[in-house]
Structure 1
Amino acid sequence: MTSPSRLELPAYHLFIRPANLRELKRDIWFDDPVPAKLMMNNKTYDIGIAFRGNHIREFEKKSYLFTFLKPSAYQKNQELHLNAEFMDSSLIRSKLSFDFFQEIGVHSPQTKHIVLKINGKNAGIYLEIESVDRLFFQKRNIPVKAIYYAENSNADFCLFSTYDKSFKLDVLAGYERKYGDIEDDQYLRAFIFKINTLSNEDFPTEIKKYLDVDQFFRWYAGVVCIQNFDAFHQNYALVLNAETNLFEIIPWDNEATWGRDCHGAIMEYDFVPITGDQTNLLAVRLLEHGLFRKQYRELLEKILAEKFTESYLTPRIDSLKTMLQNDLRKDPYISYSLEQFEKEIDLIRQFIRNRRTYIQNHLIDLKS
C-alpha cells in the first residue's frame, strides 16, 4: 500500500456561539442561517450558516451552506458550499466529476478539499464547491440573464408529472429561480412547452432558438460517462445566456457517480444506457433526430478517445488520493481503514474501464 503523504489540507475554522449551534441543530430542515464567523487564510469573515441538501441532512456528518454577510470581503462571494461527501468513502467522486466536466468543455464549479474545524474541534474533510450564481459567470466573462436550480425530479422538461402522469400545475415546479425575473420564468415556460408540443418536423429548427445544443450535449455526454442517474431530471443549474438568449446547463451534485448511487450502493457500469435516462424529455426529443444523434455520437467518440480513459484519469485520481489520505486518518466520522479507502479508489478505476468499453460498444446505437 502507498505510504501516507505528509501533505495536509487547508483548514477552515468555524466559530459559532453554543446557543446558535443549538438553534442550528434544533431543526435540520430549517433553512434560515444562524450567525457565525469563518476564518480562512488568517482572515475572519462574518457569515450565516445553514445545513444544505435533501436526504444528506439526516447524516451524522452534515453539509453546510455559508452565506457571506459582506460578500465583497471574500472574493465577492455570496455563498460557499461545503459538502461532507458522507456516502462516498473515496471522498473524490464529486471533485473528479466537476473536474471532468471542465475538461470536456462544460462550465463547472471550482472545487477543493479542506478540513473544517468547528469551535476548535475537527469536523473532518469537506469539499468546497463554488456557488453557481452571478459571480460564477462574471468570473468567466459570461453574460447571464437568469439562473435556475433544478431541485427535484419535476425538472425533466415535461408537462406531465413523473409521479402520477397528470399535468403539472406549474411546469416550473421543479425549479427555483436564483437570479432573474418573472419574464424569464415565462421564457422558460415557453421553452418547456415547445419541447412538449413541437412537431418532429419543426423541432430541430425551433429548438435551436432556445437551447445551446452543443453545450447541452457536452453536459449530457459527461453525465452519461460518469453515470450520474439523478442529473437527468434534477440536480443541475439551468442558465439563460444574456448574449445568445439560449439555455445552458451547469452540473451540480455529483456524489452518486463513478459506480455508486446516492445511497452508496454499487451502480453497475451498464445501468444507464448510452442514450441516458428516458425521463429527460429534452434529450429524448433531440436524439430522435439523426443530425442531433450524429452530433452527440461524435462528441462521445472524442471524449472516449481523449478524456474518459483510464490513462488520462488515473494521474488525477492518484493525486487526489495522495492529497487526502493523511487527513483521512483524522476525520472523526470516518471509521474505515486506508486499505478500504484504496479499494474504493480502485473501484472507480474499474468503473472507468468497464463504462468506457460499454459506451464504445454501444456507439452503434446512435447511428441513424
Structure 2
Amino acid sequence: MGLPVYRIAVPAQEYQQLTSNIWSEQLVKGSIQMDGKQIPIRIRYRGGHTRGYPKKSFEIRTSSRTYHFNAEYDDPSLLRNALSFRFFESIRVPAPATRHCVLYLNGELLGVYLRIEGVKSFFFRQRKIPVRSIFYAINDHAGFTINSNSSSTSTSANLLSGYSLIRGKDVDKTRLRIFIQQLNTKSRLELFRFLQSRIDTDNYLRWLCGAVLTGNFDGFDQNYTWYEKTKTKKYGILPWDYEGTWGRNCYGAKVDASLVRIQGYNKLTGKMLAFRHFREQYKKLLRQHLMNAFTEKRIMPIVHRLHHDIREEVDQDPYMKWPLDVFAGEPERIRTYVAERREYLTERLHQL
C-alpha cells in the first residue's frame, strides 16, 4: 500500500498572498483533501532558513487541529523526525504523532512530506494532560540563562526572547520569567526543593535521555515544547524538530556519534545534574535505555519499515535534494550511529 495522498487547494488571490512573501506569518484560506474528507483550512509557510528552499514546509490549521507538513528537505532519509518521536514515546515522553504522505498544492506534486501533529491544546487533551500554558522554544535563547552583562530591565525583558506563548496569558509569561530568575539565583540549599516543586523531574530526565541518545545538538536551547501542568503546577517538556539527529546535523551533514556530550546542555540541565540525586536517576534511566530502547534490535525494525514505506514515492519526489543512493544507504547510516553512540555513552556513564 502506498502513502496517503493529500491535496491542498488555495484560491488564486490567496495563493498570491501566500507566495508573495515567504517570510510572512499570515495564514491564508484554502482546503485540503485529507483522510477522505474535504476540509477548510488556513495555511502558511513555516520554518526559518528552510523557507528559502525549493521544497517548503507548511503549517495547516483546521477548525480544531493544527498540522505541520514538513518537507524534510535536509534529511536524506526523510524519516529522522518520525523515528525520533517514536523513540521518545517508547521512553515515556509525550511526542507528536507523525505520518508520511504525498502532498499536492493546486495540482502540483510537491513530493513526500511528514505530517506532524501540532503540539497545542488538542494534543494535551488527547493525552489527558491538563495544562495551563504552552510555550514553544523557538530560538537558541531558550536555554534558561540570564545574561549577566545586561541591565536588570533588559534582562527581565529578554528572559523570554527564546519562547513563543502558544496557550496561556500574560501571567503565564510572568510565571516562566520568575521561574528562570529563581533557577539562576536560588542558593544550592533552596534549589533542590525548588526543582522538585516546579519541575516534573522524571519527565525532564527522560526527555534529556532522548535528546542525548538521538544526538540532537540543537535540541537543548531550542526546539522543544515547554508546558505547565494545571494540577501540579509543575513544568514539563517534550521534543520538537528532530531532523538533526541519528548521525546527521540539521543541514544533513554527517556528524560524529560523540557530538553531544553525555551530560547534555542548557542551564536547567546543569542545575539538575549538579545534584547527585538527579544524576543517579538520570544515570539509571540512561543505562536502562542503552540496554533496551536504544538498541539496534529495537530501532532498526522501525527504520526499515519507515524507509520501505516511502522509498517508491521518494523516487518520484521532484524536489528530493539527495541522490537516491544516499537515501538507500540511510538505514545503515542510522544503524552505525546507534552502535557507535551506545559504545560512546556506555563508556562515559561513570562521568555522571
Instruction: Please classify the TM superposition score into its range, dividing by the shorter chain length.
Output: over 0.9
Paired-residue identity, %: 37
Query: In angstroms, what is the RMSD of aligned CA positions?
Result: 1.7
| Partner-residue secondary structure (3-state), 2:115 | strand
Is 1:13 aligned to 2:7, yes or no?
yes
Of residues 233, 239, 245, the one that matches 2:227 is 239
Q: How does 1:1-368 map to 2 (within 5 A)?
A: 7-68=1-62, 71=63, 76-77=64-65, 79-160=66-147, 167=155, 169-277=157-265, 280-334=266-320, 336-366=322-352
State the 1:263 CA deviation.
Answer: 1.5
For the 8 Å contact 1:147–1:177, the answer to whether it is kept is yes
Count of residues paired in the alignment:
350
Partners of 1:117 and 1:194 in 2: CA distance: 49
State the 1:335 CA deviation.
Answer: 5.5
Q: Residue 13 of structure 1 aligns to which amino acid in structure 2?
A: R
Cα distance change, pair 87–307 in 1 and its aligned pair in 2 (3 A): same
Partners of 1:335 and 1:306 in 2: CA distance: 34
Deviations 1:99-140 (A, max 9, x none): 000000001110110110112221100000101111101101
Q: Residue 95 of structure 1 aligns to which amino acid in structure 2?
A: A
Higher mean C-alpha deviation, range 311-320 or range 168-177: 168-177
Give the equivalent residue in structure 2 for 1:3.
Answer: none
Cα distance change, pair 146–87 in 1 and its aligned pair in 2 (3 A): same
Q: Residue 103 of structure 1 aligns to which amino acid in structure 2?
A: S
State the 1:190 CA deviation.
Answer: 1.6
Moved runs in structure 1, 4+ residues, more than 3 A? 166-169, 335-338
Q: What TM-score comes out, normalization by structure 1 length?
A: 0.92
Higher mean C-alpha deviation, range 342-351 or range 303-312: 342-351
For the 8 Å contact 2:74–2:321, the answer to whether it is kept is no
For the 8 Å contact 1:114–1:128, the answer to whether it is kept is yes
Partners of 1:275 and 1:241 in 2: CA distance: 26
Cα distance change, pair 347–162 in 1 and its aligned pair in 2 (3 A): farther
Partners of 1:362 and 1:286 in 2: CA distance: 18
State the 1:199 CA deviation.
Answer: 1.2
Partners of 1:161 and 1:227 in 2: CA distance: 29
For the 8 Å contact 1:122–1:332, the answer to whether it is kept is yes
For the 8 Å contact 1:150–1:175, the answer to whether it is kept is yes
| Partner-residue secondary structure (3-state), 1:20 | helix
Q: Residue 300 of structure 1 aligns to which amino acid in structure 2?
A: L
For the 8 Å contact 1:325–1:338, the answer to whether it is kept is no
Q: Residue 184 of structure 1 aligns to which amino acid in structure 2?
A: D
| Partner-residue secondary structure (3-state), 1:169 | helix
